[in-house]
Amino acid sequence: MRPVYLDFNATAPLEPAAREAIQEILAGPLLGNPSSTHAPGQRARLLLDAAREELLRIAGLERTHHLVFCSGGTEGNHLALRRAPGEENGGTLLTTAIEHPSLLEAARARAAEGGLDLAFLPLDDSGRVLRESMRESSKQARLCAVHAAHNELGTIQDLAALRAALPASARLHADACQYWGKVAFDLSALRADSLVVSAHKIGGPVGIGALFVRKDLELEPLLRGGGQERGYRAGTESVLLAHAFVAAARAREQRAMEDAEHVRALRDQLRAELLQAIPALRVLTPDDGALPNTLCVTLPRGDGRALLMAAQLQGLAISSGSACSSGAARPSAALLALGLDEASARRSLRFSLGPTTTPADIAHTASILRSLHARFAAIDAS
């Protein structure tokens, strides 16, 4: 069995630079609580502030946004959708039916608590918001929350166009966990009032993320206590995770173009080899305007869950649907929302590549899928 890891959208392996940063902290002088005034505490505060400033720089948001350290995308989405002081009841919260579960649940909670109507923007077949519907749908919008790039399909959303269609008073939140580091590190062009990113999507440690919040925007905190993170998130900050987070981000930033070209070429190779091996294969990821590392396909026949398990038994790490819900025996809610029937959604597979993926990995993956599909097709025909 030759293991191949093609699930980078679920989590990326730890970057060597992040590992070294963790070892540096563990081997270095004592770090105290960054809220303490003694020397160990102030050493921790300096490292935490340096990490915050560097991540703001990398994201291109140092002039316009604050950075709130959080546990990752789920917490960041929930915090971003909290009510802002003075924000009126009534109006609409806009999102789409194919959002990550963390964003959808946060939107439902915010609509229920805040007296907002929850409305879903119309989408095309690839999951993009239909431009002609934007202005009509957004007239009563108070808040709009959408992904910058879809975790399953790879589709990139046109947030700048959406921002332009929204009323000036409406807030725009972007879940940029899949976008950041794969499409761009500079998030300023998205024109969002708040944006969330997650360290482990770019080879940082699991358990830390960053919520960028416009400097003149105040939100109700999820957790209250000691007033850390400008009062947005109580609790002692993890200097260790923040230090490793920024190390991973800096390493990825330095080779961003090289990584994007590398995974795009291999993604295109995988698509070609799969289409040759399985001519009736349906590719769901759009040819243009998609993450360079992501390929989502639907197989023409067979039991999708059984095929996925068979592939995993041969060492192929891929997914079907979002990693946060793929353990459940149900098809992807996002693909069902786009109009796929349940059987087709169950036969859908997501391949997400990373900097360490090789041409040999792609060839081996195509060979496994070709063999498994032939085996399942024979079973169907018998």
Catalytic machinery residues: 324
Decide: helix, strand or coil at residue 40: helix
CA distance linking residue 367 with residue 44, whole number of Å? 50
Q: Do residues 263 and 292 make contact, with C-beta atoms less than 8 angstroms apart?
A: yes
Q: Give DSSP secondary structure letters for 139-185.
A: TTEEEEEEESB-TTT-BBP-HHHHHHHS-TT-EEEEE-TTTBTTTBS
Q: Do residues 243 and 47 make contact, with C-beta atoms less than 8 angstroms apart?
A: yes
Q: Which residues contact 71 (CB under 8 A, 6 or more apart)?
A: 207, 208, 209
Q: Do residues 219 and 84 make contact, with C-beta atoms less than 8 angstroms apart?
A: yes
Decide: helix, strand or coil at residue 131: helix
- N-to-C CA span, the chain: 28
Q: Per the structure block, which two tokens stand in for 209?
A: 């993320």
- Between the alpha carbon of residue 147 and those of residues 95, 151, 165, 233, 242, the distances in Å are 9, 9, 16, 23, 24
Give the dihedral of Cα atoms 180, 190, 336, 329; nearest 10 deg: 30
